[in-house]
């Protein structure tokens, strides 16, 4: 039986709830802050992609579930730290006060640290219980992308005025596309896919991630003061670039059967 996009999204919500740590006597504020950020109605794109890819390639959604949750934990930690006063200094996140506004900077930093650590705890426990190569490779690609994301963030906040397209591409590729690449390739590893298929999934992740970031910049064009592709090269060039990435994405994806749920998830059409 194949799961539909909406079932996949619901199962992600369920597993995220199940992984929330029980508060204890002395550090309950930590778990409160973790839940506050994790259970905030995000789109869950990355975990849904991971699960849908795994299913498309014949893998078990149940086996992939902890890795999907870990990916969302990592994404969430990065948002908490990105919002901090020393970084983007954002007071709001998804319509409610950002973590440091709700809990203070100290707890926000620590709850980000905790979510990143919990992501690895979830994956490493799974592997210690069931030593399967595909799981180890999935964990490895997720961890690698989490490091790339930090590199991208450093490059982003340390941008100088003389930026060029190579720099913009570096930031978008590392800061944003890395986790999408991990979602697609980890899904493939968990389905025990061949190396050739893994490479296809890697390209899907890169093309989708780059388009995702360019589109986000395009939407923020009038309100954002950042240096991004649309600001540097104009809105029309940005749209052309997005179309190029999405054409690549679709042409690779169309080589695979049962790709309908991935399309629905990626275009939020469910």
- Calpha distance 8→215 (Å, rounded): 24
Told to check if 223 binds a copy of itself by CB under 8 A, we report no
- Give the three-class secondary structure for 96: strand
Among 39, 92, 154, 268, binds a copy of itself (CB under 8 A): 154
Cα atoms found within 13 Å of the Cα of residue 104, Cβ hemisphere only: 6
CB 201 within 8 A of CB 184: yes
Binding segment toward a copy of itself, per CB under 8 A, in 2-10, 12-20, 49-57, 142-150: 142-150
Nearer Cβ to a copy of itself (158/255): 158
Question: Is residue 120 a contact point for a copy of itself (CB under 8 A)?
Answer: yes
Answer yes or no whether residue 161 interacts with a copy of itself by CB under 8 A. Answer: no
Q: Site residues for a copy of itself, window 192-221 (CB under 8 A)? A: none
Measured distance CA(109)–CA(105) in Å, rounded: 6
Q: Which of 121, 144, 33 is nearest to 69 (CA)?
A: 121
Using rule CB under 8 A, residue 164 touches a copy of itself: no
Of 82 and 217, nearer to a copy of itself (C-beta) is 82
- Contact call for residues 57 and 49 (beta carbons, < 8 A): no
Compute the radius of gyration of the chain from its Cα atoms: 18
| Cα distance between residue 266 and residue 96, in whole Å | 25
Stretch that binds a copy of itself, among 36-44, 151-159, 210-218, 231-239 (CB under 8 A): 151-159
Instruction: Please tell me the distance from the alpha carbon of residue 176 to that of residue 181, in angstroms, as a whole number.
Output: 9
Single out the segment in contact with a copy of itself by CB under 8 A; choices: 167-175, 176-184, 192-200, 260-268: 167-175
Closest CA to 137 of 219, 198, 213: 198
Q: Applying CB under 8 A, does 1 fall inside the site for a copy of itself?
A: no
Q: Which residues have C-beta within 8 Å of that of residue 266, sequence separation ≥ 6?
A: 45, 49, 208, 249
Part of the chain binding a copy of itself (CB under 8 A), chosen from 128-136, 201-209, 213-221, 258-266: 128-136
Residue 181 near residue 143 (C-beta atoms within 8 A)? no
**Neighbouring C-beta atoms of residue 153, cutoff 10 Å:** 18
- Part in contact with a copy of itself (CB under 8 A); list of ranges 60-68, 126-134, 209-217, 239-247: 126-134
Q: Which of positions 74-103 make contact with a copy of itself (CB under 8 A)?
A: 77, 81, 84, 86-87
Contact between 152 and a copy of itself per CB under 8 A? yes
Q: Which chain residues interact with a copy of itself by CB under 8 A?
A: 24-27, 29-30, 77, 81, 84, 86-87, 104-107, 109-110, 112-114, 116-118, 120-121, 123-125, 127-128, 131, 133, 136-137, 139-140, 143-144, 146-147, 150-155, 157-158, 167, 170-171, 174
């Amino acid at each position: 039986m194949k799961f539909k996009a909406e079932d996949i999204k619901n199962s992600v919500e369920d597993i995220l709830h199940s992984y929330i740590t029980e508060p204890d006597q002395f550090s309950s504020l930590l778990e409160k802050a973790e839940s506050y950020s994790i259970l905030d109605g995000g789109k869950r794109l990355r975990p849904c992609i991971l699960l849908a890819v795994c299913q498309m390639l014949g893998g078990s959604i149940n086996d992939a579930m902890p890795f999907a949750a870990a990916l969302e934990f990592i994404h969430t930690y990065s948002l908490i730290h990105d919002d901090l006063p020393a970084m983007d200094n954002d007071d709001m996140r998804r319509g409610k006060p950002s973590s440091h506004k709700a809990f203070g900077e100290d707890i926000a930093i620590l709850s980000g640290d905790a979510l990143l650590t919990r992501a690895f705890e979830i994956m490493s426990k799974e592997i210690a219980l069931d030593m399967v190569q595909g799981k180890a490779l999935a964990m490895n690609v997720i961890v690698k992308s989490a490091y790339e994301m930090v590199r991208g963030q450093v490059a982003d906040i340390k941008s100088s005025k003389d930026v060029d397209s190579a720099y913009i591409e570096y930031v978008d590729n590392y800061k944003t596309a890395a986790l999408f690449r991990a979602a697609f390739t980890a899904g493939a590893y968990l389905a025990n896919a061949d190396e050739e298929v893994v490479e296809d999934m890697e390209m899907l992740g890169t093309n989708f991630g780059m388009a995702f970031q360019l589109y986000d910049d395009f939407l923020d064009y009038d309100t954002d003061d950042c240096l991004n592709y649309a600001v540097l090269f104009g809105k029309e060039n940005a749209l052309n670039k997005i179309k190029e990435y999405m054409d690549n994405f679709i042409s690779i994806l169309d080589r695979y059967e049962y790709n309908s749920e991935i399309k629905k998830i990626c275009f939020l059409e469910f």
